[in-house]
Amino acid sequence: MGRIDIDEYRCKGCGICTIACPKKLITLCDKLNNQGYSPAEARCQEHCTGCALCAEICPDVAITVFR
């Protein structure tokens, strides 16, 4: 089991993590962050495996994985 934290202020809303997550737990928000991007958010984290694929692929190092 795992859990992730997404730093919405670092996120540029590229959406790569939404594709990378094998459980499809990450989506982009409707709201904008202070840089004007729609940041990623994770839902249903009880299904997170802690695989860290999302964190490894994020170009802005915005995702921290806890196992």
Listed as own residue / partner, the contacts of 17-26 with beta carbons closer than 8 Å and 24 or more positions apart are 17/54, 17/57, 17/58, 17/63, 20/53, 20/54, 20/57, 21/53, 21/54, 22/49, 22/51, 22/53, 23/47, 23/48, 23/49, 26/54
Least spacing, CB of residue 36 vs ligand SF4, in Å:
13
Write the interaction track for ligand SF4 spanning residues 7-46; mark x where CB under 6 A is met and - where it is not: ----xxxxxxx--xx-x-xx-------------x-x----
Is 49 a residue that touches ligand SF4 (CB under 6 A)? yes
Of these, 31, 48, 64, 66, which contacts ligand SF4 (CB under 6 A)?
A: 48
